[in-house]
Chain A
Amino acid sequence: MIALTTDPIDVASALKYLHTDQAGAIDLFLGIVRNSTQSRPVDRLEYEAYDRMAIGEMRKIADEANRRWPLLRYTIIHRTGTLLIGEMAVLIGVATAHRADAFDACRYIIDTIKQTVPIWKKEIFTDGEMWVNAHP
């Protein structure tokens, strides 16, 4: 299950989807909006996506994770729009028979999302704003 959404991410329903009798391990990674960047206070974040391509790139990452590890189920949900401190920006979930595969696959998915999926994050500070990673 791969999705972009402007609504709050529902952890309980993601977990329910991941649950299967063959799964000995379920890993969830939750990316949360924190209140500062390099000690500069953050007021909120704005996420923007190139929706069509973002879904395609997330699909590729999931397919690659599927090749590398024996995944029983997975889910990738990324939120867009304005997010306040403490809100969840992304949920990655994987279910596998054994825990090592679940940890490894989950980490691979979130790390690769940050490298290849066309989603952009603007940090709104109390005294300005900046697109993350955009400047040298």
Chain B
Amino acid sequence: MKDTASVLLFGITRDITGQSAVSVPLPEGACVADLLSQLYRQYPDLSGIRSILVAVNGEYAESDQVVHSKDEIALIPPVSGG
């Protein structure tokens, strides 16, 4: 069964896609790395960013963490607060 996930975007990733959230296909059992690969295919310009992390439900996620369509997923480009 194919599902889709909504991914929140901030900073440069929002500028690149022109959207504050994007929808990506999310096959059952897909992990953070799969999600990122799909996003890079949809938006090749994202690969020009120094590094992108993924947050799931407000916490940094490892690349092998499985994600579900109901999770709150966000792309985290390099931070620069302070």
Minimum Cβ distance to chain B for residue A74 (Å): 16
Known interface pairs A53-B55, A122-B11. Does A133 touch B81 (Cβ–Cβ under 8 Å)? no
Selected contact of A120 from candidates B11, B55, B58, CB within 8 Å: B11
Nearest CB in chain A to that of B74: its residue = A50
Cα distance A34–B54 in the bound complex, in angstroms: 31
Contact indicator per residue, chain A 105-125, by CB within 8 Å of chain B (1) or not (0): 000001001111111111000
Inter-chain residue pair count (beta carbon < 8 A): 79
Are B15 and A131 in contact, CB atoms less than 8 angstroms apart?
A: yes
Minimum Cβ distance to chain B for residue A123 (Å): 9
Are B59 and A56 in contact, CB atoms less than 8 angstroms apart?
A: yes
Cα distance A49–B82 in the bound complex, in angstroms: 11
* B interface, size bucket: 20 to 34
Q: Is B49 an interface residue (CB 8 A)?
A: yes
Minimum Cβ distance to chain A for residue B4 (Å): 21
A115: B residues at CB distance < 8 A: 79
A110: B residues at CB distance < 8 A: 82
Contact indicator per residue, chain B 56-82, by CB within 8 Å of chain A (1) or not (0): 001110000000000000101111111
Instruction: Find the residue from A56, A115, A119, A131 having the highest chain B CB count within 10 A.
Output: A131
Are B79 and A118 in contact, CB atoms less than 8 angstroms apart?
A: yes
Cα distance A116–B76 in the bound complex, in angstroms: 10
Cα distance A60–B74 in the bound complex, in angstroms: 19
Are A120 and B74 in contact, CB atoms less than 8 angstroms apart?
A: no
Are B11 and A134 in contact, CB atoms less than 8 angstroms apart?
A: yes
Top 5 closest pairs, chain A to chain B, by CB: A119-B81, A120-B11, A132-B80, A133-B78, A131-B12
